[in-house]
Structure 1
Amino acid sequence: MSHERFYSRVNGPTLYRVNAVRWLDEVAPRHLAGGGDPRHVTEYLLASGWSNHSVPGYPHVLLESPDRRLHFTLEPEEDEFMSSRRVHPAQGHAWSAQFGIHTPVEIIAGFTDAVNSAGPRPEEAELWRLAASRGWTMRLAGRERAALSPDETAYLSRESSLAETPIHRWAVQVSVPLSEKRHRWIWNASIDEAAPPAALTGFIDALTDPTPLLRSEGQEPRHAFGFLDSRRSFVTPEQHRMQHLRRLEAAQRTGTNAPAPAPPLPRPARHKRHR
C-alpha cells in the first residue's frame, strides 16, 4: 500500500522522508521529551516476529508475540490520563504494563525490547541502586520506597494494593510545576511486579538513563516548555534513520527481543537552547 503521496506523519520524518527535516535535537531530561515515533516500538516487535492483528479503518495497533502468549495494544484514548499503550498476557490477568500517550517510546522500548528475554528476577534493592547511581533521590512513600528524578519532575515508586494478597507494581508519575501547589500532569506508567523481570529492569534502566533523546526540530512537547534542555545534535536525520534500520536488522537476525546496542550520541557544545 502506497502512502508517500499522503500528507501524514506516517511518511516521516524519522523513518522515511528524512530530507524534510533539517536537523535533530538532543532533548533532556528524556522523560519530558514527548512520545516520539511509535514505530520505534512497533517495528522492532514486528521485526522480532510479532504478528499484526490491527483492524483496517480503526486507529489502533494490535500485535501478538510469536508464541501467542503476549499482546501489545496501541490505541488512542479520549481521556489522555488513561493508558494508550499496554502489554499483557493474551490469556489471564497475571500482570500488565501500561503507558500514557506522552511516555517516550524509547522508555517503553526498554520494556518491550526485553519482554521475551529470560533472566533472574532482580532484587528490589538493585533497581533502587540503579536509579540512585544516576542521580535520582531516594524517598519514602508511606511504607514504600520511591525515587525522584534529578530535575524533580519524575517520580518512581513501588506500590502495593490493599488486597489480602497484596499486588506490587512499579509506577511512574511525570509532571511539571505550574505554581507552588499546582502541577501539570504529563504522563504516568505502571508495571506489575509479576511482569517479566528483564522487561521491568529494562524499563527502569531506560527511564533513569541520563542520555538525551533525539527529536526532530520543533517536535519538543509544548507541555514541557521551560523544563527542557535542547541542543542541536551532530546526528543527522539520515544517520538516525540508519540506526533504526540496523536495530530492526538485529532483531530479525536474532529472532528475539534482545535490544541491539546503539552507539553513544555525541554531545554538541553549541546551539544550546533552553525551552
Structure 2
Amino acid sequence: MKRKQWQGWGPGEQAEQHYLVEPRALAGGGDLRHVSEFLRACGWQDKSKRNGPLVFDSPDRTIRIGYDPYVLPGGWTIRSKATAHQGEWAVTLGRQTPVEIVAGLTDALTRPHSAHAPDVWAPLKEQRWSTARDAGHFTAQSPDGTAWMQFREDHSGHAMWWSAADDQQGNGWNATFTASTPMHLVQAFSAALASPEPVMRPRGRVPHSTKIRTTSVSVLPSQLSAWQQARVQAARAATWARNWTANRPRTTARPRATASHTRARR
C-alpha cells in the first residue's frame, strides 16, 4: 500500500485517513451525497421521505431517480416516462455500484447532450478493454478482468445493456439498461466505468479484496468539504447559465439603413 500526505494543512484541524481505491468498479458504494447533492443543485426535486429511500424527480417530472437500501437486492433505479421524442426506459444498478459511476449517468441527465451519435464502446476501447462477439452478445472486459459491459439480444429479439463488476470475493454489482435507454446515457455510464481515476473512501469503508489497490492519504475535513462544494457549485453555475440562456428575452435586430433612403432636404 502506498501512502501520501497532503500539504498546506490549517491550524486546529485533525487530518483523517482515507484511501484512494482502484479499480474504481470495486471500491464499494460510497457517499450517496455525491449523487444527491449534485441533483439538488441542478434543480431536481427531492421527494425523499424522512428515514426512507432516496427519491429525486427531474424538473419536468419525466424522470425519477431512487436509491432504496431497505429492499433486496436494493440499489438504484432510474425510470423515465415516455415523451414525444423518447419511449419510456429504465436502468437498475446494484447497491455496491460506486457512486462515482452512478454519477456518470445521473450527471448526464442534468445537461444537454451532444448532437453527435454516441459510441458506448469508445471509452472502453480507449482504456484497452478487450472486446468479443458471441451469439448476439457483444462484450467488453476490463484489462484486469473484474468489470464488463455487454449488449445482449436473446432469440426473441429482446435486447438490453448489462454491466457488472466482481472480484469473486463477494464484492460486486450489476447494472441493466433497457434497450430504449438513450445511448448518450449508456455512453456516459461506460465512460465513468472505464475511467482509470481512483476514487476515495474513508478508513473502514474499503472493501476487503485482493483485486483492489489502495493508496493511503491524510485529508483534512475542510478539504473534503471544499471538494464536495466545488462539485455542487459547478452544478449550480451550469444550471443557472442554461436557465438564463433559455429564458433571456430575444431582441429584434434594427432594420439596416440602405443607400436607397431619401436624402435629407437642404
Q: Which amino acid aligns with 2:140?
A: A
Residues in 1 aligned to 2:158 and 2:222: alpha-carbon distance in whole angstroms: 45
Q: Which residue of 1 aligns with 2:222?
A: 238
The answer on whether the counterparts of 2:120 and 2:186 sit within 8 Å (CA) in structure 1 is no
- Displacement of 1:167 after TM fit? 4.5
Give the 3-state SS of the residue equivalent to 1:43 in structure 2: helix
Residues in 2 aligned to 1:217 and 1:208: alpha-carbon distance in whole angstroms: 24
Cα–Cα, structure 1 residues 160 and 94, in superposed 2: closer, same or farther, change >3 Å? farther
TM value normalised by structure 2 = 0.76
Q: Which residue of 1 aligns with 2:174?
A: 188
Aligned pair 1:253/2:247, yes or no?
A: no
Structure 1 segments, 4+ long, off by >6 Å, are none
The answer on whether the counterparts of 1:69 and 1:90 sit within 8 Å (CA) in structure 2 is yes
Percent identity of paired positions between Structure 1 and Structure 2? 27
* 2:108 alignment partner, one of 111, 114, 126: 114
- Displacement of 1:200 after TM fit? 1.8
The structure with the larger Rg is: 2
Residues in 2 aligned to 1:133 and 1:254: alpha-carbon distance in whole angstroms: 28
Aligned pair 1:214/2:207, yes or no?
A: no
Aligned pair 1:40/2:2, yes or no?
A: no
Cα–Cα, structure 1 residues 242 and 186, in superposed 2: closer, same or farther, change >3 Å? same
Q: Which amino acid aligns with 1:48?
A: C
Cα–Cα, structure 1 residues 115 and 90, in superposed 2: closer, same or farther, change >3 Å? same
Residues in 2 aligned to 1:232 and 1:56: alpha-carbon distance in whole angstroms: 35
Q: Which residue of 1 aligns with 2:10?
A: none
Q: Which residue of 1 aligns with 2:90?
A: 96
- Structure 2 residues without counterparts, runs of 5 or longer: 1-12, 243-266
Q: Which amino acid aligns with 2:79?
A: H
Aligned pair 1:76/2:64, yes or no?
A: no
- Displacement of 1:232 after TM fit? 1.7
Q: Which amino acid aligns with 1:231?
A: T
- Displacement of 1:128 after TM fit? 1.9
Cα–Cα, structure 1 residues 23 and 67, in superposed 2: closer, same or farther, change >3 Å? same
Residues in 2 aligned to 1:146 and 1:110: alpha-carbon distance in whole angstroms: 20
Q: Which residue of 2 aligns with 1:272?
A: none
- Displacement of 1:196 after TM fit? 3.2
- Displacement of 1:79 after TM fit? 2.5
Cα–Cα, structure 1 residues 77 and 141, in superposed 2: closer, same or farther, change >3 Å? farther
Residues in 1 aligned to 2:48 and 2:15: alpha-carbon distance in whole angstroms: 29
Cα–Cα, structure 1 residues 45 and 20, in superposed 2: closer, same or farther, change >3 Å? farther
* 1:153-192 alignment, distance < 5 Å: 153-163=146-156, 166-177=157-168, 184=170, 186-192=172-178
Alpha-carbon RMSD: 2.5
* 2:48 alignment partner, one of 50, 54, 57: 54
Residues in 1 aligned to 2:115 and 2:15: alpha-carbon distance in whole angstroms: 43
